[in-house]
Amino acid sequence: MGQEYNGSEPRKRSPWGVLALVMLTGLALMRNGADVSIGPPQPASAAALDSPSEVTGARTSRTSVRPLPYAPASRIRLPDIRVNAPIVDVGLDDEGWIDAPSPQDPNLAGWYQNGISPGQLGTSVIVGHVDNAVGPAVFYNLGSLRKGHRIEVERYDGRAAVFEVYGVEVFSKEEFPGPRVYGDIGRPELRVITCGGGYSKTSGYAGNVVVFARMVATR
């Protein structure tokens, strides 16, 4: 767990563990939908990526911010949607999928501890529930983020990585573009994911809201 972080650098992180997160967001996060008449906000067309090449074509670009070394994530702040939530490490469940944070605590996000650390070179991923059986949860308003909004992730080494949103989209779980979302594009990136799209009591949410952000500062 992050609370036990001793400052040492672990072995190279495997991107395939993070890639399995598509199954988490398609399964674990959809089971807690509250029975509400108005669902969570969905991404506006103006927040969409300009084109798929905005992600994949960025492999040749250079970041002006030096990547941070590995350290577990401790807290996420999204001031534009009033999120200030602790982060817990999540691992794999009994079926081999990446686990989700407990739905009992609505203000809780999860970082897959075998993935890329926020601020490290590569693409880190933070997940959270959109709602639970009672009502809205930590990422209920994630779909209302816009390009240029900031996300700050604190780490257990006392540093923080600051990311700028450059795209917000909702993807169908059946056609989730895993490589496009989770791929390493050669700079510190962040994806924040929750459920989205249409909702039914029998099958849950039809898709996932994905926020694309790049690191622009550290402190």
Decide: 189 and 214 in contact? Cβ < 8 Å.
yes
Q: Is residue 1 part of a domain?
A: no
pLDDT at 12: 45
Question: What are 128's two structure tokens?
Answer: 């959270």
The chain-wide mean pLDDT, for the chain, equals 82
Decide: 42 and 142 in contact? Cβ < 8 Å.
no
Question: What are 146's two structure tokens?
Answer: 């816009």
Q: Is residue 36 part of a domain?
A: yes
Q: Is residue 5 part of a domain?
A: no
At 145, which helix (H) or strand (E)? Answer: none
Decide: 31 and 204 in contact? Cβ < 8 Å.
yes
Q: Which of 49-53, 101-105, 111-115, 200-204 shows the highest mean pLDDT?
A: 101-105
Q: Residues 28-85: pLDDT tens digits?
A: 444 455 544 568 998 988 888 876 555 554 444 455 799 999 999 999 999 999 999 9
Distance CA 60, CA 182 (A): 17
Tokens 């540093």 correspond to: 159
Q: Domain range holding 127?
A: 11-218
Q: Is residue 2 part of a domain?
A: no
pLDDT at 107 over 90: yes
Number of domains in the chain: 1
CATH number at residue 181: 2.40.260.10
Q: Is residue 185 part of a domain?
A: yes
Decide: 54 and 47 in contact? Cβ < 8 Å.
no
Q: Is residue 47 part of a domain?
A: yes
Pairing of strands 188-200, 122-128: parallel
pLDDT at 54: 57
DSSP collapsed to 3 states, 77-140: EEHHHCEEEEEEEECECCCCCECCCCCCCCCCEEEECCCCCCCCCEEEEEEECCECCCCECCCC
Tokens 């880190």 correspond to: 124
Rounded mean pLDDT of 83-106?
83
Question: What are 136's two structure tokens?
Answer: 């809205």
Tell me the percentage of the chain whose pLDDT exceeds 90.
53
Decide: 99 and 110 in contact? Cβ < 8 Å.
yes
C-alpha distances out from residue 52 to 4, 48, 55, Å: 38, 10, 6
Q: Residues 185-216: pLDDT tens digits?
A: 999 999 999 999 888 888 889 889 999 999 99
